[in-house]
Amino acid sequence: MKNLKEKISIVMPAYNEAGRIVFSIEETAQAFNSFGYPWELIVMDDGSTDDTYEKAIALLEKYPQLIVRRNPANMGKGRAIKKALHYITGDYTLFLDADMDLHPIQFQALFDIMRLDKADIVIGSKLHPNSIVNYPLQRKIISFVYYLLIRILFNLPCHDTQTGLKLFKTEVLRNVLPRVLVKQFAFDLELLVNAHHLGYKIAEAPIILNPQRSYGRIGPKSILATGLDTLAIFYRMYILRYYDRIDYYRRKNLAKESGRMRR
Ligand SMILES: Nc1nc2c(ncn2[C@@H]2O[C@H](COP(=O)(O)OP(=O)(O)O)[C@@H](O)[C@H]2O)c(=O)[nH]1
Ligand SMILES: [Mg+2]
């Protein structure tokens, strides 16, 4: 029997998704109603310039489980997710992209793997042998090269850190998210590297990916930026040892700030 007390929080970052957001919320609601766990869906609109926010709040009455928050200006997906931590009340948290490339019905598979593997985190992976993915060769090559890079740099037991379907025990997020600085282009990696460093177990799940947009949003500029942010995480992890000395750095910054205030 399901333990009906276990509540699932879904965090859906959304930036200029007006064309899709209603469909995404409805699909997610339908999927989670059919699972039978209590759930909540937190949509984090991030200064969209279209009417993503207006379309999302129009569904508040229909779905009491829906929470919609808006940032006045665009701060990036990572920071929006970090902010969502204030609203999460579930025992488990699913990160789910708003574009529905990955259907929320796949949550159950991730949840089963979490219990079978006794994992703290389960991430969807495009490179899993059982994944059914339909995306351009160019992006497959980028994914694979990026995997090699992070394997060499961090020895992370993950093949694909970038996929928009990830399940966490909420307590893991409460421990790890406050530690991450949120490099805009490598937020997922920074989160996973820190979770791994703290000893949390990460498992991978096969996914079915159905790209809904005919164009990808990543270009050469964001590839370069992702590479640089990845190296910045390496530098902080192994050279600066920032994440191990985070309390020291926090105290130092506080001292600097109070010094500035006294002057
Ligand atoms: N809150 C927030 N969400 C974003 C931002 N950029 C992208 N997203 C959302 O993050 C998800 C993934 O973005 P997408 O452009 O599809 O990236 P891709 O799947 O890696 O090509 C989607 O749900 C977007 O709406 C942002 O700056 N802020
Ligand atoms: Mg996408």
pLDDT in tens, 74-112: 999 999 999 999 999 999 999 999 999 999 999 999 999
The residues spanned by each domain of the chain are 8-213
Site to probe by mutation for ligand 1, drawn from 77, 138, 183 as the one with most ligand atoms within 8 Å of Cβ, is: 77
Contact partners, residue 180, CB within 8 Å, separation at least 6: 78, 82, 187, 190, 191, 194
The domain defined by 8-213 carries CATH number 1.10.540.10: no
User: Once rounded to an integer, what is the mean pLDDT over residues 231-255?
Assistant: 89
**Which amino acid is located at 90 in the chain?**
G
CA of 262 to the centre of ligand 2 (A): 47
Q: What is the pTM of this model?
A: 0.92
- Phi then psi for residue 44, to 5 deg, are -105, 95
pLDDT band at 259 (very low <50, low <70, confident <90, very high): confident
d(CA 157, CA 84): 26
Nearest bound ligand to the CA of residue 16: 1
d(CA 249, CA 259): 15
d(CA 181, CA 242): 10
pLDDT band at 254 (very low <50, low <70, confident <90, very high): confident
Which residue's CA is the nearest one to ligand 1's atom 16?
Answer: 99
**The ligand 1 atom nearest the CA atom of 213:** 16
Mean predicted lDDT score pLDDT of the chain = 92
Q: Which residues pair with 165 in a beta bridge?
A: 96
Which residue's CA is the nearest one to ligand 1's atom 18?
Answer: 217
Tokens for 256, please give them. 């600097």
Which residue's CA is the nearest one to ligand 1's atom 7?
Answer: 15
- The candidate with the shortest Cα–Cα distance to 24, out of 13, 35, 34, is 13
Res 183: pLDDT: 75
